[in-house]
Amino acid sequence: MKMRTVEITVGALMVAGILSLLMLALQVSGLSHFFREEPGYRIKAEFANIGALKVRAKVSVAGVVVGRVVKIQLEPETFNATVWMAIDPMQVDKLPIDTRASILTAGLLGDNYISLLPGFNETEFLREGNNISIGNTDSAVILEQLISKFLAGQVSASKNTNNSQRDQ
């Protein structure tokens, strides 16, 4: 009888350990958002290009994380990307209506995130469902596009130099 109690106890501890590892893996991977909704009020912003921005990317004001990206969708009429953000009211409860949103990269090759730059309007504030228009957003800077433009500029500059040397 004592042996059976030991086996049941060991089995229960194994199951608890496996469940703990599963919960830890879900938290670390970011997949736990399937089971809970992000707190806060929702605002959206329209971007011409979001680069590699993903759902669950951070939203920050002055480098402080104040929310997360909760949804990304393509607008069929304008072919712009609409990004829905959940802003934590405990962090920032009054963002001016003229707030500017930019997609930045954490480091040279890091993840993309949204940086909010509060505006100067002291009477109107962003509320649930409000939109930051495309005029107040800055799209993501794509490293590959910058490199190709730089290389194309180098090639055209060298062609112009060669042509002017031939003319002499």
Cα torsion angle, 20, 21, 24, 25, sign: negative
The CA-to-CA distance between both ends of the chain, in Å, stands at 104
Q: Are strands 131-132 and 41-47 parallel, antiparallel or unpaired?
A: parallel
Does the pLDDT value for residue 165 go beyond 60? no
Band of pLDDT at residue 93, cut at 50, 70 and 90 = confident
Is the CB of residue 55 less than 8 Å from the CB of residue 70?
Answer: yes
Residues 27 and 32: their CA atoms lie apart, in Å, by 6
- % of the chain surpassing 90 pLDDT: 18
Q: For 27-50, what is the mean pLDDT?
A: 75
Q: For 57-64, what is the mean pLDDT?
A: 89
Does the pLDDT value for residue 168 go beyond 70? no
Q: Are strands 64-74 and 81-87 parallel, antiparallel or unpaired?
A: antiparallel
Does the pLDDT value for residue 65 go beyond 80? yes
Does the pLDDT value for residue 11 go beyond 60? yes
Q: For 64-75, what is the mean pLDDT?
A: 90
Q: For 5-32, what is the mean pLDDT?
A: 84
Model pTM above 0.75: no
Does the pLDDT value for residue 139 go beyond 60? yes
